[in-house]
Structure 1
Amino acid sequence: MRNNIRYIFLSILICLCAGCSTYTAFYSKTHKEVVGENILKIHRLDLSNQNLTQLPANIEQIKDLRMINLSNNPDLDLSNTFERLSVHTNLEVLILDSLDINIIPESISQFKNLKQISLAHNTDLLMDVTLSRLSELPIEFINLANNKLTELPENIINLTSLKDLNLSYNNIKDPKTYKLLGQLPKLYSLWIDHNELETLPATICNLKQIRFLYIDHNNLAYIPDSMIDMKKLWVIHAGYNKFKKLPTVFAKMKVLLMVHINNNEITTIPKIYETQKYPLAGLLLDNNAFSKEEVERAKQIFNGFFLLSFEQTVYK
């Protein structure tokens, strides 16, 4: 009965992961222009890549704007833009990627319902000022991907409503940063993929509150035992690294349910997986360096897993 409950929970978890998408705080068609009768039906507006210097003249006429994407319009005056958007008090999602932003205007504070913001590809962004201004809002998701970050400032801890943080395509190896992130009480998901990590800082164990961890596309060959302290972690994405064996720490983690560790250099499954009891019930090991014999052994070890995959392009 206990296993059945675990598998039902894992099934729900997989569905949630598959359907998860940022910028979808509500569901409706995304419009690319503000014209005609559609103006009363617009909730989601994508004005990205339109070489804008200012917003459309009739944007104030939209009745219930919830999401706007202004990405890749580097000549847009953000102060004027925020002033004109101030009438949209229900705005929840703001996408400002690739705008060559240095400083977020103070007027962002007027968006009292803003929950999601993307600031990816803004490499000159003053992070301490940015986080200070965002800390006044109920921000739940921040995308800071590809901003040449090596660390985060201490005021990140003031974003107490933050649930999801995307730090992909940076170079964050600073141990203190992970200590700071451990102080965010609601942090649920963390992306540190594509960060050129050769090791994970031992301080990653401070992230005792997170459920989903993305460490794929790095240069990792080892995971520290300190991750045992991450007692709420459900899912780890560790594909496209340099692991040569399945890390033993996964067998010691108290609630870990699923591991994606495809496209590595894994040749063997350690003995601990034959002797230890663990909640792990989903394992994706596609495109590693297993022999056919080791695959058959692994199938016996993980017999009864809810999800188990060993698809191989080439066997060793």
Structure 2
Amino acid sequence: MSRLKRAGERDPREGFRAGRGDCATSVPQGLIKTARKSGQLNLSGRNLTEVPQCVWRINVDVPEEANQTLSFGATDRWWEQTDLTKLIISNNKLKSLADDLRLLPALTVLDIHDNQLTSLPSALGELENLQKLNVSHNKLKTLPEEITNLRNLKGLYLQHNELTCIPEEFEQLFNLEDLDLSNNRLTTVPASFSSLSSLMRLNLSSNQLKSLPAEISRLKKLKQLDCNTNLLETIPPELAGMESLELLYLRRNKLRFLPEFPSCKLLKELHVGENQIEILGAEHLKHLNSILVLDLRDNKLKSVPDEISLLESLERLDLSNNDISSLPFSLGNLHLKFLALEGNPLRTIRREILNKGTQEVLKYLQSKIKDDGPNQSDSVIDTAMTLPSESRVNVHAIITLKLLDYSDKQTTLIPDEVFDAVKSNVITSINFSKNQLCEIPKRIVELKDMVSDVNLSFNKLPSLSVELCMLQKLTFLDLRNNFLNSLPEEMGSLMKLQTINLSFNRFKILPEVLYHIRTLETILISNNQVGSVNPEKMKTMENLITLDLQNNDLLQIPPELGNCVNLRTLLLDGNPFRVPRAAILMKGTAAVLEYLRDRIPT
């Protein structure tokens, strides 16, 4: 009868009278009755603007059936009710929580994600048994200091709020295992985080962090650290001492150097794509004994060291969208399941081999190990001829690789001597990347019957001229890092185009002409301002296998996109949409497409 006594202390009759009408319209009495027996109450998605009193007082007030039933069976003994341990009030319209929250001291799980909360009550700190607290997708600007009283808390989810700082006393949450602070406005991480001795997963992605405290290395149990999409320029060297670290995400930052990880013997995945890393050296690789996934896409790497072959466990290697001109033949000794190389000015591997996929590339590299070694590629690059204009044209590349290369000259126009050097030779590839071109060289049309591969990346092109659209044999076109916001309709005549890279431009929509190029297999349009795609037109692109829409302005993903079943790779990270959630995206393309199809209106 302890509950009867507790109820008497709080004047249960008054609370009961106040709560009856309140619950009658918003919460079915059957749900409350069941919750008294199970200890669990789910009120998600009921458009609640406030939590009914009868919910807070569910274990305090005498239930209504007690006043109506004279004899009780075993199932009606209301005085034997179970304390509420799990309360879910997610996906409602709550703007605040009452201090009456303290009337549920037995709670172990409180889930109030997807509401409109701007603050949390200090009474939250009295829920000493709480183990999981989910307040994600709200509008919190600060956290009450009392939250640090939740000493039994194991999971704390604060992602997608407006937090600018974290209480220093967070160190008192010494049982915390999972902490998600992603998609907030944090500029610093308190050094006191180092005292979270039980922490295994820490998500700090999509904030405004410029640095990490060296003390973070004291998190000896940390297995997963996510710092994607911040402003990090360096990583503290102490991070290399985190012995339990298995997954490290540093994508979309401003890193210029790859950290070394001598103590991270268990590191399985390292994601440092979309940074400004220029050098990958042996010292960066020699300790990655357990690495399975290495993501280096969208950096400024010019070479890959022979020591890459030391990563015997490596399964996935992403080198796409760098400045790599040749690969070490030793790479062929790895047992890779996935190797991404698109968007590189590779000169030593024919496009037809690259298009055949990972295993064919590895076989090719392995076959070359028995030849003269990697110095072959160096001789190709260094062989040059000086023309009267003192412009260096790689004549050897023209003759042996069928490549017209005038890249990395920072010039505003391509000299006539470059085209003159072609003479009667057959040219299949053009590389004019890393210049200051503001327009397509008109003489490019002279090669229209031969060229299949054109690289115009890292220039200043505001638009494309019709000359480019006359290259009828074009299969690969790299236009990343320019000033483009549209494509000419004439591009529809490129009926052999298979891959186009439009990343890092100024597109606000997926260019209409792309829907009409049915041969397209790969569209890379990350890091633009694309706000929408047309799923019905996309469905007609039966050959499209890869669509990269990362880091754009997509507020929603149309469910009909799930009907594009030919897609094997759909990349959507870094957009402001709320669904699908990150957990779905991490499961891969097939799971995302299935999720979208399940939500198509019938």
Structure 1 residues not aligned, in runs of 5+: 1-13, 30-39, 47-64, 71-75, 81-99, 310-316
1:23 aligns with 2:23: no
Give the equivalent residue in structure 1 for 2:421.
Answer: 133
| 1:69 alignment partner, one of 377, 382, 388 | 382
**Shift of residue 224, structure 1, vs aligned partner:** 3.0
Give the Cα–Cα distance (whole angstroms) in 2 for the partners of residues 194 and 129 of structure 1: 26
| SS in structure 2 at match of 1:68 | helix
- Contact 1:114 / 1:137 at 8 angstroms: preserved in 2? no
Give the equivalent residue in structure 2 for 1:163.
Answer: 452
| SS in structure 2 at match of 1:112 | helix
Call closer, same or farther: CA 1:185–1:207 in 2, change over 3 Å.
closer
| 2:550 alignment partner, one of 245, 258, 262 | 262
Aligned letter for 1:213? I
Give the equivalent residue in structure 2 for 1:78.
Answer: 386
- Contact 2:524 / 2:549 at 8 angstroms: preserved in 1? yes
- Contact 2:437 / 2:459 at 8 angstroms: preserved in 1? yes
**1:152-191 matches, cutoff 5 A:** 152-159=440-447, 160-176=449-465, 179-191=466-478
Give the Cα–Cα distance (whole angstroms) in 2 for the partners of residues 168 and 219 of structure 1: 14
Runs of 4+ off more than 6 Å: 14-17
Call closer, same or farther: CA 1:103–1:238 in 2, change over 3 Å.
same
Give the equivalent residue in structure 2 for 1:219.
Answer: 506
| SS in structure 1 at match of 2:492 | helix
| CA offset digits 1:174-230 (Å, max 9, x no partner) | 443xx3333323322111011112233333323221111100011211123222221
Call closer, same or farther: CA 1:130–1:306 in 2, change over 3 Å.
farther
Give the equivalent residue in structure 1 for 2:376.
Answer: 44
Aligned letter for 1:169? F
Give the Cα–Cα distance (whole angstroms) in 1 for the partners of residues 485 and 413 of structure 2: 26
Aligned letter for 2:479? I
**Shift of residue 251, structure 1, vs aligned partner:** 3.3
**1:90-239 matches, cutoff 5 A:** 102=391, 104=393, 108=395, 112-122=399-409, 123=411, 126-134=414-422, 136-159=424-447, 160-176=449-465, 179-239=466-526
Tell which has more relative contact order, 1 or 2 (C-alpha 8 A, sep 6+): 1
**Shift of residue 69, structure 1, vs aligned partner:** 3.0
Call closer, same or farther: CA 1:41–1:24 in 2, change over 3 Å.
closer
| SS in structure 1 at match of 2:580 | helix
Larger Rg: 2
Give the equivalent residue in structure 2 for 1:314.
Answer: none
Structure 2 residues not aligned, in runs of 5+: 1-335, 350-363, 594-602
**Shift of residue 267, structure 1, vs aligned partner:** 1.8
Give the Cα–Cα distance (whole angstroms) in 2 for the partners of residues 19 and 263 of structure 1: 20
1:287 aligns with 2:595: no
Call closer, same or farther: CA 1:203–1:278 in 2, change over 3 Å.
farther
Give the equivalent residue in structure 2 for 1:85.
Answer: none
Aligned letter for 1:141? S
- Contact 2:393 / 2:406 at 8 angstroms: preserved in 1? no
- Contact 1:114 / 1:138 at 8 angstroms: preserved in 2? no
**Shift of residue 127, structure 1, vs aligned partner:** 4.1
TM-score (norm 2): 0.34
Call closer, same or farther: CA 1:236–1:113 in 2, change over 3 Å.
same
Give the Cα–Cα distance (whole angstroms) in 2 for the partners of residues 198 and 285 of structure 1: 20
Call closer, same or farther: CA 1:243–1:156 in 2, change over 3 Å.
same
Give the Cα–Cα distance (whole angstroms) in 2 for the partners of residues 267 and 305 of structure 1: 19
**Shift of residue 253, structure 1, vs aligned partner:** 2.2
Call closer, same or farther: CA 1:130–1:307 in 2, change over 3 Å.
farther
Give the Cα–Cα distance (whole angstroms) in 1 for the partners of residues 408 and 441 of structure 2: 18
Aligned letter for 1:186? K
Give the Cα–Cα distance (whole angstroms) in 2 for the partners of residues 240 and 281 of structure 1: 20
Identity of aligned residues (%): 23
| SS in structure 2 at match of 1:254 | coil
- Contact 1:109 / 1:137 at 8 angstroms: preserved in 2? no
| CA offset digits 1:79-128 (Å, max 9, x no partner) | 59xxxxxxxxxxxxxxxxxxx954759xx499633423432122155344
**Shift of residue 148, structure 1, vs aligned partner:** 1.5
Give the equivalent residue in structure 1 for 2:541.
Answer: 253
Aligned letter for 1:232? T
TM-score (norm 1): 0.60
**Shift of residue 261, structure 1, vs aligned partner:** 1.0
| SS in structure 2 at match of 1:113 | helix
**Shift of residue 131, structure 1, vs aligned partner:** 2.6
| SS in structure 2 at match of 1:137 | coil
- Contact 1:156 / 1:181 at 8 angstroms: preserved in 2? yes
| 1:244 alignment partner, one of 501, 518, 531 | 531
Give the Cα–Cα distance (whole angstroms) in 2 for the partners of residues 144 and 297 of structure 1: 38
